[in-house]
Structure 1
Amino acid sequence: MDCQDEFYFFLQVIYRAGIGSKEFSLPAAGDLEIDGGLRRQLGVEPSVFAGCRVFLPLLEPGILCHVTDCFYLHYLFFRLPGAPRGMVVGPYLSLLPSAQQILEMAERYELPPVRTHLLEEFYPTLPQITDNSVFYSMVYCLCEALYGRKAEVRSISLEDELSPTALSVTAREADLSTAMQRLENRYQLEDQLLRAVAEGDRARLRRVLHGVDLDVATEPRLSDPVRNIKNYCIVLNTLLRKAAQQGGVHPIYLDDLSRTFAARIEKLPTTASARKLVHEMADQYCLLVQQHGAENYSRPVQTAMLYVRQHLAEPLNLHTLAALLGCNASYFSARFKRETGQTLTEFILQERMRLAVHLLLTTRLQVQTVAQYCGFLDANYFCRIFRQTVGCSPGAYRKTGRAQTGAFVPCPPGQNMLG
């Protein structure tokens, strides 16, 4: 192989950076553990290498495949000059997954808590490499030296459907009428979406999003489909925030949600996950309009409500909030009741029950863990309060409450929320 000195220098660099690499024969036979043993320890199949077999026969000199798997791990596949052999470099991360993303992965693969901890311990051991890092520049230079021409980079997600066409780059027709129709469809979709959010109409929103093709809205400006849809998500996050503001939501709520989604957008690993996030973003902004659009609370009350929602796992009481706001406790208590129609204690309980319902319906966390997230150290006390407020036990709600839709509203005394 030509450029052996450059190649071995590259291997030394990635070794010192903590990035693994392995060679394999082409056509690929057997299996190869390339994810640091993560799937083996988690008991998850198939392996990354098995998932990549679809496109490995199509690896040609000069093609550099950037692969992302469902655990947010990145790999680089390329063919070595000369003998029919290939190389994979990885795994590494572009960003460290958040606690919520780890929880979602554990839920998807039904991992018990002990294996969830394996994920939490595994990620910090991997190097993080950003899109504009020196590492990628070095890889591109190596490929130019090996192949005598600039490498052609193909991005592939193992969560998307893989086929031999994954390595094909088809030219898009530059037809004016097609482009105009695409723009018209995009603006029509966005207009319907934003009106539903501004009016807090979740039923209409679901009808708008049902069966929608996001490719209609995504501008194919780059060869990377994930980057394209990320860019669209960034734009849509801004539009949805403005729509919710028109619906009467105070910026104090909008800023927190907008920043949360902005961070999640940059961590999207696949186009499939981006499509799911678009639906979640629209629904959450719409729900925000439902919950807060008609409110006209004073700044101290808004601050207290926001603080409560962000610190539900911590001890919360009137004196804590009043001290935080620099208010007299009795004065603030009366003001909160006058503006909201409920005491601060009732509001705290309402938000804790709202969070409990969300966790019960969207995760497989044990009831005692849900209790801790909601600020209850005693699981039995949590179950008793949940039954009094919602109308049934947490376990019963998890079994039957999945059919419930709409925002959570605490059950009035003597009534059952489920019936």
Structure 2
Amino acid sequence: MNEETLEILKMNALQLLGIQLEGYDMNDLKGISDHIKTPFTNTSRKQFKRELKHFIVHMASNKIYHYTNIFDVNFLIFKFKKYKQVYIIGPYMEQRPNERRCNELLQLAGIKISKLYILKQYLLRIPLCHQVKAQKMCRLSIRFLKKRNIVYETEKVDLNFHSNTEMLAESKSQSDYTLREIEQRYNLENQLLTAVENGNVNEALEILNEMNLSVTGLRRVKDDVSNEQYKAFLINTLCRKAGEKAGISLLHIDEISEKYAALIDQTMDREILYEIIRDIVKEYSERVMKTKANAYSPKISKVIQYIERNLDSPLTLTELATYVDLAPSYLSRIFNQETQKSISQYIIELRVKKGRDLITRTKMTVSEIALYVGFKEQSYFTQCFKKQYGTTPLKYRTMHKEFY
């Protein structure tokens, strides 16, 4: 199976419809259950695991299964038996329920009305998508993944995960689910700040896409356009602070901020507002990159920008020298002259600095951060971090919490 094809399909599903497309090994019951569960699903029950496994094993390879859970959330599921893979499109809803409908859903599920906040938090992150569009995306995925131009029949399936109150997750699990959702949103927000502050344009835009999916139904005000304006103003403010910390001149920051504030205020179209949000992130990130580049000669600036864009990948002197068409020994010498550091030292310090920002701004674990910024081993990240900042990452987090 072509992994590149799957990545393109996932990107199209996200960008065109705002919904997820994920592939799982048939034996990955945890991954599949995590994808389709609700805050109230007791995934630890043996009956749940048996029922899910039975469904996966007995899925026909020539059908699309349409699963709608008790909260009107939809999933389209199909199997690629040859590669032992299960693909899930969703979650998505055709219509967001009002307060009255939320109460009805709780009553139907036998869940106490005190859990309304948890249900609303769950439903707010579910994107809206028409069934016909989701179906088309599913058939397109089958066509390109299986390389078969066949229209599969769609069969509705009821997995009965909420048939009675005994099947519900414990109250603490329900609350923990909601807390994790909120923490994830703030983690993404702070990862965006870090990407902008480091001038990583592509990374910042990727995080923005992920953020948009995670808050797709979240509302701070009642009107949809006003809600999108609220998000745009918030992103403008966050990027302004990140730009200031990165060293952009205050005149430039004020110019960018004022321009987008006026645009946001004048725009009454949700799609255009989202494009404005992308432009805000892009412009601030690019301005940071230019600010950093101005301190060095064109060749060294180009190398530094390449390093920042590919920080989480293995980087070699030969690769960097080829990128700017210089001999490795010559690049090493002039890089040291301009930055007062070797290339390897510069890369390590930049990775540690980015790790430090994530330590203070997110609740990512140290091992997650180490991998995210390009270290293969957590122990080496900790060693370099201690050398650069005089203490371990966890102690630094305790002393310098910025955003949570």
Q: What TM bracket, shorter-length normalisation?
A: 0.3 to 0.5
Quick check: which has more Rg, 1 or 2? 1
Structure possessing the higher relative contact order (Cα contacts under 8 Å, 6 or more residues apart): 2
TM-score for the superposition, normalised by structure 1:
0.41
Choose between structure 1 and 2: higher helix proportion. Answer: 2
TM-score for the superposition, normalised by structure 2:
0.42
